[in-house]
Amino acid sequence: MYQTRAHENRLFIVSVNYGAPHNSRTSTILDLEGSTRDEVDNTESVLVGDLNLTAVRKVRNECNPIHGLRNRYPRACKPLGNDR
């Protein structure tokens, strides 16, 4: 599920496991394509990684020209939330 969301939304996802005694899965860093960049098993450990936020902006802008940054108008959207 996390891999699909990372790919659909073009973002990094960091999935963190619970500590002992409830740890049941891995801690994982997924990249913009949903691929696993790094992961540790269910033993107690620390996972550290570098995330390139400039790449996120570039990929999002290039992969979706209609909804990319250059076509967003925050000033136009703000009044929609003020009708309540």
Report pTM: 0.66
Mean pLDDT computed over every residue of the chain: 78
AA identity, residue 79: P
The 3-state DSSP class for residue 53 equals helix
Question: How confident is the model over 42-67, as pLDDT tens digits?
Answer: 777 888 999 988 888 888 777 666 65
pLDDT for the residue numbered 70: 62
**Domain range holding 70?**
2-82
- Could you give the number of structural domains in the chain? 1
pLDDT confidence band for 71 (50 / 70 / 90): low
- Paired residues of 28 in beta bridges: 15, 39
